[in-house]
Structure 1
Amino acid sequence: MELTKQEVIVGVVADFLPRIGRVVVAGNVELAIFRASDETIYALENRSPHPKGGPLAEGIVSGYYLYDPLYDWKIDLRTGEVQAPDQGQAVTYPVTLVGETVRVSL
Structure 2
Amino acid sequence: MTDWIELGRIEAVPVRGSRCVNTPSGKIAVFRTAENEIYAIENRCPHKGGPLSEGIVHGASVTCPLHNWVFDLASGQAQGADEGSVRTYPVKVENGLIYIAPDVLLQVAAE
Answer yes or no: same fold by TM over 0.5. Answer: yes
Matched, 1:53 2:19: no
Residue correspondences, number = 102
Structure 2: runs of 5 or more not aligned: 105-111
Amino acid paired to 1:89: S
Amino acid paired to 2:60: Y
TM-score using structure 1 length: 0.86
Matched, 1:96 2:98: no
**Cα drift, residue 5 of structure 1:** 8.0
Bigger helix share: 2
Residues 44 and 90 in structure 1, CA contact (< 8 A), matched pair in contact too: yes
Paired-residue identity, %? 37
Structure 1: runs of 5 or more not aligned: none
Counterpart mapping for 1:1-106 below 5 A: 7-50=4-47, 52-105=48-101, 106=104
Counterpart in 1 of 2:108?
Answer: none
Structure 1 segments of 4+ aligned residues over 6 angstroms from their partners:
none
